[in-house]
Structure 1
């Protein structure tokens, strides 16, 4: 069997990034996430902690029942322009049951800020969260959140040395690691990426921190561009002495791929905190 890949200069970039348009029933997902997250908060204690002065610079911390094994950080997606921590609380369950403290930050959104500003905000969020739980750190992020956690382990990371040294593994789920194509999509009317920022914020052109362990996890049923982006980061960083892998998860779409984070025994939870 021959496995071939060909890119095209005439790609429809709006379609490549239109995840909801290609998943039946996706319009109902934000309401479902909000309901499930609110129900989860009724039975699990959540501490809200400020990590900056801005109204969105807040994170939720969920502690396990006993002493934590370490800190697991999950950064949500939404193309850097949508959502906040309140929709994702229930995705902490898998890691929490496995005795990890879980931090879920909100962050400032475009167009009020640039993507480079959001990267710096997540750096502040992680630095604040690590003061709340001892032990190793695991990072995970979905979609735009995958971009943000990958940026935490680039050589130009905003994290201080004492924080980056505790990061044992980073899981970028359906992450965006090559931002140049976004300049060709309608999304850029909000993101306002220019050539310089797109390059500076693309993890694929950066060297990873020494000793980096990264898994780029992506659903097999996702848009072709998301498969390309995950494979690209693993290939690029694997050539720069990182322990990098790409895992294509069955036929999952861009949204079902994160559902396993709710299950402490799922393969994706094991990749996150195993």
Structure 2
């Protein structure tokens, strides 16, 4: 397994990422964004097996950490962090920055898709004016409609914890933070979701794809639960890898 290179993008202990490079020149860069309902319970260790698999397939994998709820995260810190982590790649001559995509699981699927929406954000919004733009996203059971998720109890109030209130309390934050509210993104999104997911119902991906139209694709995994998509030994992860290949035109 290639040894990841730890790179800090800020002074906080959670402001860093791990860059895993392939042998030879990388085909593309894949930003890996872990989940955990934006809470401090889980970290980028969830993304390490995926980063290793991606590097073995010829990709540079940038597995990012960020401040989470309970660890100085929330609005706007979590969003500022993932944006800064991606922008740190700017100027690296060893990486093909015209070929940057993201893959994210659960809350990481939300953040990965939000990263793709950055070019369309108002100039004063967190994450506006990206130095590095994504070509596309694979959302693995992503939370893509924050209003619907909060009103239907996804994550037991995780969205309100992230944004500092519910949709009726801080509506402007939901407009800026929820991927479905940022459509059209201008880049494709592949939504991979299992029908047996009880953590993030497939309704989240269905609603996003229906709203996005031709910009998005839904890959339904019959009988698959929430965590199979981040296990490199599964067909569920293979479906995610296939999605990345489609985004890159392979």
Q: How many Å separate the matches in 2 of 1:114 and 1:130?
A: 25
Q: How many Å separate the matches in 2 of 1:129 and 1:64?
A: 16
**Partner residue of 1:169 out of 131, 136, 144:** 136
Does structure 1 residue 223 correspond to structure 2 residue 198?
yes
**Partner residue of 1:139 out of 102, 117, 136:** 102
Q: How many Å separate the matches in 2 of 1:120 and 1:130?
A: 16
Flag structure 1 segments of 5+ consecutive residues without an equivalent: 1-42
| Match of residue 157 from structure 2 | 187
Q: How many Å separate the matches in 1 of 2:21 and 2:65?
A: 18
Q: How many Å separate the matches in 1 of 2:239 and 2:45?
A: 25
Structure 1 residue 126 displacement after superposition:
0.9
Structure 1 residue 178 displacement after superposition:
1.4
SS at match of 1:110: coil
Deviations 1:236-271 (A, max 9, x none): 111xxx5211111131100112224788x9232121
Q: Would you identify which runs of 4 or more consecutive aligned residues in structure 1 move more than 4 Å?
A: none
How many pairs are equivalent? 225
| Match of residue 31 from structure 1 | none
Q: How many Å separate the matches in 2 of 1:45 and 1:159?
A: 32
**Partner residue of 1:254 out of 208, 214, 226:** 226
Q: Identify the structure with the greater helix proportion.
A: 1
Deviations 1:72-104 (A, max 9, x none): 111000000031113331111332122110010
| Match of residue 109 from structure 1 | 68
Structure 1 residue 190 displacement after superposition:
4.1
Flag structure 2 segments of 5+ consecutive residues without an equivalent: none
Deviations 1:177-236 (A, max 9, x none): 1112326644357443332233432111122333x1111110121138521110111111
Contact persistence 1:249–1:257 (CA under 8 A): no
| Match of residue 11 from structure 1 | none
| Match of residue 271 from structure 1 | 243
| Match of residue 178 from structure 1 | 145
SS at match of 2:241: helix
Q: How many Å separate the matches in 1 of 2:88 and 2:15?
A: 11
Q: How many Å separate the matches in 2 of 1:92 and 1:150?
A: 18
Q: Structure 1 residues 178 and 261, CA, compared in 2 at 3 Å: closer, same or farther?
A: farther
**Partner residue of 1:68 out of 26, 50, 58:** 26
Contact persistence 1:92–1:262 (CA under 8 A): no
Computing the radius of gyration from Cα coordinates, the structure with the larger value is 1
Cα RMSD between the aligned structures? 2.5
SS at match of 1:170: strand
